[in-house]
Amino acid sequence: MTASLPRQAAPPDEPRQPPEDPRRKFRRRALTLLIIVLLIGVPAGYLVISANQSRDSGKQKEEKYSATGLTAGWPSKVQRRLYQVEIPHPAAKVAFYETNNWKTSRLYAQFQLTNDGLDTFLASLGADRRSLTKDHITIGARDQKITGWKFSVPGQWWGFTRKQKDPAPTQDVVVNLDNPTFPMVYVVSRTVP
């Protein structure tokens, strides 16, 4: 059993403080509560919002990188510059797919152009229409299988390959001229790091 200690009396020279006003007491407690909420609630809210944004970003990246075929839309400017596939404007039915591994990186692209657009595209590769060879399918079976492209002969298929020294990309190009006003272009550009 412990002995209780006697209380010490206040020194006689200190004046007694009046009891605290209830309104002041309420304001002090409210201010303390507000500070606690701000110190804990704001960072916690920020963490929740940040986690949701991070999760959404991860889902978008997962969808992008888990794609197993052509995706409608334009390749990024960096991809177009890296693989040297300049798609002229205006272009329609634009789709692309990129694969990367330790040995070779490939960009698959398809797009529909006008006649002038085709000439512009070929010029960007240092070629012209005379570079195209009829029924010369330069895109191999493996690449066709990956993209789902089917180049069946007979047809107005024209192709050529632009070879460059590594690490510059090599492009295999097939052009469908069944609709001569709006040719469809298929490109596989591959680079070896």
Note the pLDDT tens digit of each residue in 12-29: 666 667 777 888 888 888
pLDDT band at 110 (very low <50, low <70, confident <90, very high): very high
pLDDT of residue 3: 66
Contacts of 121 (CB under 8 A, 6+ apart): 86, 87, 88, 113, 185
pLDDT of residue 168: 85
pLDDT of residue 137: 87
pLDDT of residue 178: 85
Contacts of 115 (CB under 8 A, 6+ apart): 180, 181, 183
CA-CA-CA-CA dihedral for 61, 106, 191, 87, to nearest 10: -90
Please identify which residue in the block is written with the tokens 């609630």.
41
**Structure confidence by residue, pLDDT tens digits, 37-95:** 888 888 888 888 888 887 766 666 555 555 567 888 999 899 889 888 888 888 899 99
pLDDT of residue 52: 80
Total-model pTM: 0.64
Residue 108 reports pLDDT greater than 90:
yes
**Structure confidence by residue, pLDDT tens digits, 94-105:** 999 998 888 889
pLDDT band at 182 (very low <50, low <70, confident <90, very high): very high
Do the Cβ atoms of 81 and 118 come closer than 8 Å?
A: no
Please state, rounded to an integer, the average pLDDT across all residues of the chain: 83
pLDDT of residue 112: 92
Contacts of 150 (CB under 8 A, 6+ apart): 144
